[in-house]
Amino acid sequence: MKDGWELKTLGEVCKIIGGGTPSKNRSDYYNGPINWATVRDLNSETLLTTEHTITTLGLESSSTNLIPQNSVIFASRVGLGKVCIAKIDVAINQDLRALIPKSETQLNVNFLFRWLQNQSDAIRNAGQGATVQGVTLPFIKNLQIPIPPLPEQQRIVSIIDKAFEAIDKAIENTQKNLQNSKELFESYLNSVFENTSEGWERKLLSDVCKYDKTPHDKLSLPYVGLEDIQSNTGSFIGVLEPKSVKSTTFRFSNKHVLYGRLRPYLNKVLLPNFEGHCSTEIFPVKPLQDVIDRKYLFYWFICGETMKKINATWTGATLPRANMNTVLGFEIITPSLQTQQTVVMKLDNVLSETKNLEVKYQQKLANLEELKKSILNKAFAGEL
């Protein structure tokens, strides 16, 4: 450790305060003037407001505690690794802990916050519990924190803050670029099916394909459920092996388009390249080969405007389902087969370019997050 730095346990230098939840059966405990934080509120470096509030009676009648502003709050259960600085007085629930330096002349709260950010991976890895992951109070108290002289702490915090400000700006710009690339494809896709070029006919979906509800005849074939289709991409993410299920299923082949009709499985559309059977929550739609290209129909199904229209047909309070009889009455713009295939090639190219951009931007975001970790590691190793 760097000369002049001391190594202390968190319990030695901080007050560690837990929280609790007022009884949910008492309406007079909630919607009061006191902010009450849960893990859901720890979404940025600073805590400025909370989703829920409690009353003074709720505060006094439970194990929650009111934490003063400029305290560090972190998740010790559920959202391990999340940490922020409270810029308001706030009560906390049992999944959170507050850290308050015992001496402001010994430990700067912003230094403490940045150090705890650097410990997020270690805290996550230390989580225990079969259902809910958490760390114990003894574990928290025994965490060792380097304590340089106060001016050195302030210098380190200043360097980190400036570096993170620039990195966060780069992250923001990259996220915008990522969103723009996705919207570019969606915009192009929508424009294709709004085309009114000469010779492009409007036909009913029932005129270009068949809703093929052929029951599965108990042959040993691969099974596709809604969970086996990746939203928006049309990728099969299941296991391609024979599987029998007790409930009724529909047969399909590599000539079908599979469309999931059960909310909230949006944009679950698959072009299978194998024969199998699928859940009855999936529509096996068989395009008429001399009228419509199968992939052209796939793109029509994942088009944003089509999705909106299908969503409007949902019925059922608990598990809403699309009404296929209504969907079959939708219009689809249908050029010649040759034109459809040309359109599909263009869409494939735009989609490929979009995915390449997304990979590039996702990698850049990952690199920026790694840069943050590297800066924190160097800071608390005395290398800044």
pLDDT tens column, 41-54: 999 999 999 999 99
Distance of CA 206 to the CA centre of its chain: 36
Query: What percent of the chain stands above pLDDT 70?
Result: 97
Least-confidence region, from 154-163, 257-266, 336-345 = 257-266
Instruction: List every span in the chain annotated with CATH 3.90.220.20.
Output: 6-148, 204-298+316-322
Mean pLDDT of 74-79: 93
Cα dihedral sign, 83-87-93-99: positive
Mean pLDDT of 307-322: 82
| Residue 284: pLDDT over 70 | yes
CATH topology of domain 149-200+335-384: Helix Hairpins (1.10.287)
Give the list of residues 6+ apart from residue 175 with CB closer than 8 angstroms, or none: 361, 365
Of 295, 242, 241, 236, nearest in space to 260 by CA? 236
CATH topology of domain 204-298+316-322: Adenine-n6-DNA-methyltransferase TaqI; Chain A, domain 2 (3.90.220)
Mean pLDDT (the chain, rounded): 91
Mean pLDDT of 81-88: 96
Least-confidence region, from 59-63, 72-76, 194-198, 239-243 = 194-198
Instruction: List every span in the chain annotated with CATH 1.10.287.1120.
Output: 149-200+335-384
pLDDT score for 219: 65
| Residue 5: pLDDT over 80 | yes
Mean pLDDT of 152-177: 96
Of 144, 140, 132, nearest in space to 99 by CA? 140
| Residue 360: pLDDT over 80 | yes
Mean pLDDT of 272-289: 90
Where are the strands (E) in the chain, listed by range? 6-9, 14-17, 30-37, 46-47, 52-54, 66-67, 72-75, 83-86, 90-92, 96-101, 144-147, 201-204, 209-211, 223-224, 249-252, 257-260, 269-270, 276-279, 282-287, 331-334
Beta bridge partners of 286: 210
What confidence category does residue 123 fall into, taking pLDDT thresholds of 50, 70 and 90?
very high
Mean pLDDT of 297-315: 89
| Residue 174: pLDDT over 80 | yes
What confidence category does residue 56 fall into, taking pLDDT thresholds of 50, 70 and 90?
very high
> Among the CATH numbers 3.90.220.20, 3.40.50.970, 3.10.580.10, 3.40.50.150, which is that of 6-148?
3.90.220.20
Looking at per-residue confidence, does 198 or 33 come out higher? Answer: 33
Do the beta carbons of residue 74 and residue 109 sit within 8 Å? no
pLDDT score for 69: 96
Do the beta carbons of residue 118 and residue 377 sit within 8 Å? yes
| Residue 301: pLDDT over 80 | yes
Mean pLDDT of 180-191: 90
pLDDT score for 315: 80
| Residue 348: pLDDT over 70 | yes
Mean pLDDT of 315-329: 83
| Residue 73: pLDDT over 70 | yes
What confidence category does residue 267 fall into, taking pLDDT thresholds of 50, 70 and 90?
low
pLDDT score for 8: 95
